[in-house]
Structure 1
Amino acid sequence: MTKLVLLAAGGTGGHLFPAEALASVLKARGYDVDLATDTRAARYAGHFPARELHVLPADTVRGRSPVALARTAFALASGLVSGLSLMRRVKPAVVVGFGGYPTVPPLMAASFSGVPTIVHESNGVMGRANRMLAGRVSAIATGFQGLLRHDPALSAKEVWTGNPLRPAALAATRVPYDPPHPGGELRLLVFGGSQGARVMSDVVPQALERLEPALRARLRVTQQAREEDMARVRAACEAMGVQAEIAPFFNDLLMRMAQAQLVVSRSGAGTVAELAAIGRPSILVPLPGALDQDQAANAAALEQTGGALVLPQPQFTPERLAAEITRLAAAPETLSQMAQAARTAGILDAAERLADLVEHLASGQGTKSFQNLQGPRS
């Protein structure tokens, strides 16, 4: 009988994309794969390679008021009841969660039902939902090595896999870096995550305006902007004579990343993993104000390799960005070195590593024996 693996992911690309990568590998190995999520993610999961989609009640913590906490608790409790029913119906061999509160009900239900469980933490800091689940799951897969080294109880469950890459990302890794040539075009890619980032629309056009005319003439800009910001960004580029393609979303963003010579972006775990695997120099602007400061940790890890420059948002000014673009455009050898350094941090077989862990638990073996089996991987 074909074994079923149930994947659980929250409603953002940062959660769904690594789940999609694992699903592709597991299906190639002969497993059935189902996806459990909430109503928000269900709208974006049309291309997810799952046999069946299960929508469970869930909610995030939106405030500390008694009403907000009660609403969240009720949604999670309802999701747990639905999750227990789901476990009895589909009988998964393993349940794998990828973060976000929609993963809590199915992972808790699996734990209560005696089903082996894994959470995958893609960020350099463990998220709140995963922290809630960490004590109950069978294994904790991590995108960053040594994430739990300061917590002996959790480090005993830790398996470093890296962050799984979708097939489209793996295809993009085969495109070699093409550094800019003196006087030639400079391909700049700007984006702010799956929902865009207003700060990019506020800062980047003003930075381009501060560049020397000769450098502006070399630019080929691809920028993601929110619907409400597109007109002003496009108008600013047209007024400067900058060749630019502006859109709220690019279906082929990974290939555009591969073709870029410099990337300016937020530093979500998926973005950092893709920049590293593809090997592209970047200026990273971590999302400020996040409770866990996960994007700051992700960006710092890539900066430490020499593959990125990190600008906290208060430092991400038009003047500073213009100065960095000018500096890097004049030093193609620096861009090439950054690209090469970023590539050293890339883990191209992370989905395969995570699938190995899933299969190990599905066969009835424990996390400790898998840790003992692990050796150096390329």
Structure 2
Amino acid sequence: MSFLSEKPFMLAAGGTGGHFFPAEALARELLDRGYPVTLVTDRRGQAFGGTLEQVPVHRIHSAPPGAGFVNKAKAAVQMGVGLLQARALMRHLTPAAVVGFGGYPSVPTVFAAVHSGVPALIHEQNAVLGRANRMLAPGVRHLAVAFPEVSGLRDADRAKLVRTGNPVRPAIAALRDAGYAAPSADGPIHLLVMGGSQGARVLSEVLPAAITQLPEGLRARLHLSQQCRPEDLEGVRAAYAGAGLGGLELDSFFHDVPQRLAACHLAVTRAGASTVAELTCLGRPALLVPYPHAMDDHQTANARQLDAAGAAWMIPQPDFTAETVAARLASLLAAPDTLAATAASAHDWGTADAAARLADAVTAMAEAAAAGIPSTPSTRTEAAE
């Protein structure tokens, strides 16, 4: 503890929520354990807010490789400058360990750690190893993953795996044991529809047409909460007019998502890593519609694993039609035992202590490195190409 309390844990993450939130969750856990933390990001990144404002932030250069020779050359220069900046940080801060969370802003920092002899771990949130993490995996000591199977791995990196899960926000974790109650035969049915920041429009286009095809009695029991893009709100509201729903709430952003997830009988969502982590932490059945333009189609890989585990149902976007969705909703909402079984499988798949598991892996790695001994992941997982 004395050694680790003297040197900071350096977390490297970009500004996107999928990479940034797990870094914030780990920072919070390490701080709670009494360890110092520092954040490294690029100019697009942000500082941790709220109770983590005391975490120092260092910004370095980075850039994804663009299309064409000129853009690639500019990106290479940015990465080169970032690597020099990161190596200077290593010499100045002498961190106990470095943790990368994917995205190109993590590349210079993790590379600098590897070449400076600082123990490094990377965290992969999706079922497909991201491009930045593919570059970094050969040099790091451990690779923490959220999914039991991760594609894009080299065989040589399989021994580095430790399955920690993907951290969820504290408000979600607090509801881990809330339990799932399937809808009663004649009682209300709570349906939650969330599209995320990208591609919510297809849900706004298809769901109203699907729901209006449901039997009148089923529609009368349906209490629907749906997230829409701001520009789609009035059109969606008009599409539901006259549907005879038991309740309807539309908004571009829900501030009480944890409570809505806990209350829902069925969710219709994308299959991003954070969404999957929250659904499975609470144990809520869901129709997953992967965003087809996600990098490396990782949302399809995410959804496919949950579908195979009986923890959700995947509907590829080309198959997400009003007729298909209406038939699926009518079938599922009439089968409370199926909903309950899927909720139980989702709950078994998920975890609420991913941040603690990740902190355990990181601190064990740092302690082993300080003692000059190899560190071994405490929890192995198999990965498939």
- Answer whether TM exceeds 0.5 for this pair: yes
* Larger CA deviation: 123-132 vs 343-352: 343-352
Per-residue Cα deviation, 1:304-344 (whole angstroms, up to 9, x for no partner): 12121100100011111111111111111111111011111
Q: Which residue of 1 aligns with 2:65?
A: 61
**8 Å Cα contact 2:134-2:152 kept in structure 1:** no
SS, match of residue 174 in structure 1: coil
Residue of structure 1 aligned with 2:193, choices 187, 190, 195: 190
Count of aligned pairs: 373
- Structure 1 residue 48: Cα displacement: 7.0
User: Are residue 369 (structure 1) and residue 372 (structure 2) matched?
Assistant: no
Q: Which residue of 2 aligns with 1:139?
A: 142
Q: Which amino acid aligns with 2:30?
A: L
Q: Which amino acid aligns with 2:109?
A: P
Q: Which residue of 1 aligns with 2:90?
A: 87
**8 Å Cα contact 2:7-2:96 kept in structure 1:** yes
- Structure 1 residue 193: Cα displacement: 2.4
Q: Which amino acid aligns with 1:156?
A: A
**8 Å Cα contact 1:139-1:367 kept in structure 2:** no
Per-residue Cα deviation, 1:85-116 (whole angstroms, up to 9, x for no partner): 33233332111111111111221222232211
**8 Å Cα contact 1:121-1:127 kept in structure 2:** yes
Q: Distance in 2 between matches of 1:48 and 1:8?
A: 19
Q: Which residue of 2 aligns with 1:233?
A: 236
Q: Distance in 2 between matches of 1:178 and 1:54?
A: 46
User: Are residue 310 (structure 1) and residue 310 (structure 2) matched?
Assistant: no
Residue of structure 1 aligned with 2:127, choices 124, 128, 144: 124
SS, match of residue 240 in structure 1: coil
Q: 1:255 to 1:37 in 2, by over 3 A?
A: farther
Q: Distance in 2 between matches of 1:171 and 1:127?
A: 29
Q: 1:20 to 1:252 in 2, by over 3 A?
A: farther
Q: Distance in 1 between matches of 2:152 and 2:171?
A: 32
Q: Which residue of 1 aligns with 2:224?
A: 221
Q: Which amino acid aligns with 2:26?
A: L
Q: 1:292 to 1:49 in 2, by over 3 A?
A: same
Residue of structure 1 aligned with 2:24, choices 17, 20, 24: 20
Q: Distance in 2 between matches of 1:375 and 1:121?
A: 15
SS, match of residue 39 in structure 1: coil
Per-residue Cα deviation, 1:206-261 (whole angstroms, up to 9, x for no partner): 21222222222222111121122222122323443433222222233223211111
- Structure 1 residue 124: Cα displacement: 1.0
- Structure 1 residue 146: Cα displacement: 4.7
SS, match of residue 278 in structure 2: helix
Root-mean-square deviation (Å): 2.3
Q: Which residue of 2 aligns with 1:5?
A: 9
Q: Which residue of 2 aligns with 1:248?
A: 252
- Structure 1 residue 295: Cα displacement: 1.1
Q: Distance in 1 between matches of 2:134 and 2:51?
A: 26
Q: Distance in 2 between matches of 1:336 and 1:367?
A: 47
Q: Which amino acid aligns with 1:81?
A: L
**8 Å Cα contact 2:161-2:380 kept in structure 1:** no
Q: Which residue of 2 aligns with 1:175?
A: 178
Q: Which residue of 1 aligns with 2:56?
A: 52
- Structure 1 residue 267: Cα displacement: 0.7
User: Are residue 273 (structure 1) and residue 255 (structure 2) matched?
Assistant: no
**8 Å Cα contact 1:15-1:100 kept in structure 2:** yes
Q: Distance in 2 between matches of 1:89 and 1:238?
A: 62
**8 Å Cα contact 2:127-2:149 kept in structure 1:** no
Q: Distance in 2 between matches of 1:374 and 1:338?
A: 26
Q: Distance in 2 between matches of 1:257 and 1:219?
A: 15
- Structure 1 residue 195: Cα displacement: 4.3
Q: 1:196 to 1:367 in 2, by over 3 A?
A: farther
Q: Which residue of 1 aligns with 2:346?
A: 342
- Structure 1 residue 177: Cα displacement: 1.0
Q: Distance in 2 between matches of 1:280 and 1:235?
A: 29
* Larger CA deviation: 277-286 vs 359-368: 359-368
**8 Å Cα contact 1:197-1:225 kept in structure 2:** yes
Q: 1:139 to 1:151 in 2, by over 3 A?
A: same
**8 Å Cα contact 1:195-1:226 kept in structure 2:** no
Q: Which runs of 5+ in 1 are unaligned?
A: none
Q: 1:326 to 1:148 in 2, by over 3 A?
A: closer
Q: Distance in 1 between matches of 2:325 and 2:373?
A: 46
Q: Distance in 1 between matches of 2:64 and 2:50?
A: 25
User: Are residue 289 (structure 1) and residue 293 (structure 2) matched?
Assistant: yes
Q: Distance in 1 between matches of 2:303 and 2:329?
A: 18
Q: Distance in 2 between matches of 1:144 and 1:367?
A: 28
Q: Which residue of 2 aligns with 1:162?
A: 165
Q: Which amino acid aligns with 2:16?
A: T
- Structure 1 residue 73: Cα displacement: 1.8
TM-score, normalised with respect to structure 1: 0.91
SS, match of residue 246 in structure 1: strand
Q: Distance in 1 between matches of 2:51 and 2:11?
A: 11
**8 Å Cα contact 1:57-1:102 kept in structure 2:** yes
Among all aligned residue pairs of Structure 1 and Structure 2, give the percentage whose two residues are the same amino acid. Answer: 47
Q: Which amino acid aligns with 2:250?
A: I
Per-residue Cα deviation, 1:262-302 (whole angstroms, up to 9, x for no partner): 01011112211221121000000111134422111111111
Q: Distance in 2 between matches of 1:338 and 1:177?
A: 10
Q: Which residue of 2 aligns with 1:199?
A: 202
